[in-house]
Chains A and B, each alone.
Chain A
Amino acid sequence: MEKTHSCTIVKKTMLCPDTYDFVVNFPQEPKPGQFVHISCGEGVMLRRPMSVCDYFDNNLRFSFAVRGKGTKLLAQHSVGDKLDILGPLGTNFGVDKKGDGVSLVIGGGIGIFPLFYTAKFLGEKTEAILGFRTKDLVIMEDDFNAVCSKTHIVTDDGSYNCAGLVTDIFKERLQKGDITSVYTCGPRGMMKAVAEIAAENDIFCEVSLEERMGCGIGSCAVCVCKIKGKYLKVCQNGPIFNAREVDFDE
């Protein structure tokens, strides 16, 4: 039988203002792209889904930005505290479908977290294209540099590296003709643009979707998104979907 895990926080760091990085003891090895469902503490009922950012030596890393009551409460936990965690849950990125060429992980803002763990599975020919609003929000550059052959960083306002969008770099990078797969996570508009470019160039592309979630295991059917005209559950049928099948405008 599956069960929830009582996990001790072993490390807590702040990545940038209001964005935290936790490492907890965790007994089950996740697949890249999967998520865990975390109880934030007394006063908040529903768990909050967090993408797996990394897994090593029975330690699970997840990172999150403080956005509401749940994440605020979660951020107040310290090293040594216990967290009630359900998972790993959901589908995984098809890293076995990466092809013979270069794989790209394309992320925006706090959407980059699942891509780090995924990049580790994709191997040395992987490149990252990461976009952030501004310099102060640029995070995990060293992490991605360590596992990717190249890490391209852009900011909306040009305060760090060049100004632009991840799709600008993506289009530029396509010129070489060696890209065979794309894995993306970030704001919906960004993922839609990435998916369109990948489709135009006939490149395998998977996206990690997000939706307000309830149970996390597929029982309550609240976290749906439209896939090929049908509502599917992000927690159970996803969070990873083939980009071509997602109805981004629904």
Chain B
Amino acid sequence: MNNLDMSVNIAGISLKNPIVTASGTFGNGWEISRYYDLSELGAVTSKAITLSPKQGNPPPRIAETDSGVLNSVGLQNSGIEFFLKYDLPNLRRYDTKVIANISGNTIEENCEIAKRLGGEVDFIELNISCPNVKQGGVAFGTDPRIVYDITGRVREHCSVPLIVKLSPNVTDIVEIAVAAQKGGANALSLINTLLGMKIDVNTRKPILANNTGGLSGPAVKPVAVRMVWQVAKNVDLPIIGMGGIMSGEDAAEFILAGASAVAVGTANLVTPTAALDIKKQFVQYLVKNKIKNVKDIIGAVIAN
């Protein structure tokens, strides 16, 4: 284990290991840091940041489905000012990279948030894939022309590498990924949640107050792995893969498909130590398979 090289590179920045948290499942680290040292992780991703504080959607905001979870939080957060003043200094106490997930209502708002973040974070992750808000979110992420435009314009205001987080709610994920690359993205995150719905058949009412929500968890994992694989083959950008990673072997699957790092999301809702547990299991996988350098298995799937 001593000669195990867990480090990976995302857009010129080295992560000490490929395990990252997914936005919105980790708060801004305050709570989960009471369960383990965040310095164990390669990077942490903030909850989506908007320009002004945002209330989010009415409850219920969550429903469990077979092997999955539907949520419609609607980007509730305290805004960029609060993030810079309180959340970020706290995250900076840990030896881990910080990815700021941003989700403005408009392109201009995203540019403004990116500008205010400046070089204070290690990466900016542009969320153009949230299915639970009326403005911004997935509305930006399903049309390649808009993806190209927003990526280019936000990129101009970023002092750090820009990761674009893609929505799976599209016919051709490669087309969207290519548009983000042409727009100047330095890395890609995929996938965000799949738009879904659950109905209580006795009351005939949807469980979520917002009617629909984003599906995550093991149920979406095969879709996510497929999309990572397709994008990795066609786009020359590092990928942070995510979607239902619950174990070290799940993490390995994404990396073999072509991801340079992986984000743990829904699993954080199940157990606070999930990302740390998955990291330990991933190390076991590497040892068992005599892999000394994680980088050796990025995209190493032996496809037919």
Contacts and interface: CB of A to CB of B under 8 A. Distances in A.
A86 B36 CA distance: 14
Contacts of A219: 25-27, 31-32, 268-269, 272
Given A220-B25, A224-B76, A212 B63 contact: yes
Which applies to chain A's interface (DSSP): helix, strand, loop or mixed? loop
A212 B59 contact: yes
A217 interface: yes
B82 interface: no
Contacts of A39: 270-271
Interface string A207-227: 000011111011111111100
Contacts of A1: 34-37
Interface residues of B, number: 37
A211 B272 CA distance: 19
Contacts of A225: 59
A185 to B, nearest CB: 18
B47 A221 contact: yes
A89 B98 CA distance: 28
Interface in B64-97: 64, 67-69, 71, 73, 76
B62 A222 contact: yes
Contacts of A47: 270
Contacts, number: 104
Contacts of A20: none
Interface residues on A, range: 20 to 34
A236 B60 CA distance: 16
Interface string A224-249: 11000011000010000000000000
B272 A46 contact: no
Given A211-B60, A236-B31, A222 B73 contact: yes
A69 B58 CA distance: 24
Nearest to B61: A222
Given A45-B69, A219-B268, A3 B35 contact: yes
Given A211-B59, A214-B69, 7 more contacts: A1-B36, A1-B37, A39-B270, A39-B271, A69-B64, A215-B268, A217-B34
Interface of A: 1-4, 39, 44-47, 69-70, 84, 86, 211-215, 217-225, 230-231, 236, 250
29 contacts: A1-B34, A1-B37, A2-B35, A4-B271, A4-B272, A4-B273, A45-B67, A45-B69, A45-B270, A46-B270, A211-B60, A212-B62, A212-B207, A215-B31, A219-B26, A219-B27, A219-B268, A219-B272, A220-B27, A220-B268, A220-B269, A221-B27, A221-B56, A221-B76, A223-B59, A224-B76, A231-B55, A231-B56, A236-B31
Closest 9 A/B residue pairs (Cβ): A219-B27, A222-B62, A222-B61, A212-B60, A214-B269, A217-B31, A215-B269, A218-B31, A219-B31
Interface of B: 24-27, 30-32, 34-37, 47, 55-56, 58-64, 67-69, 71, 73, 76, 207, 217-218, 266, 268-273
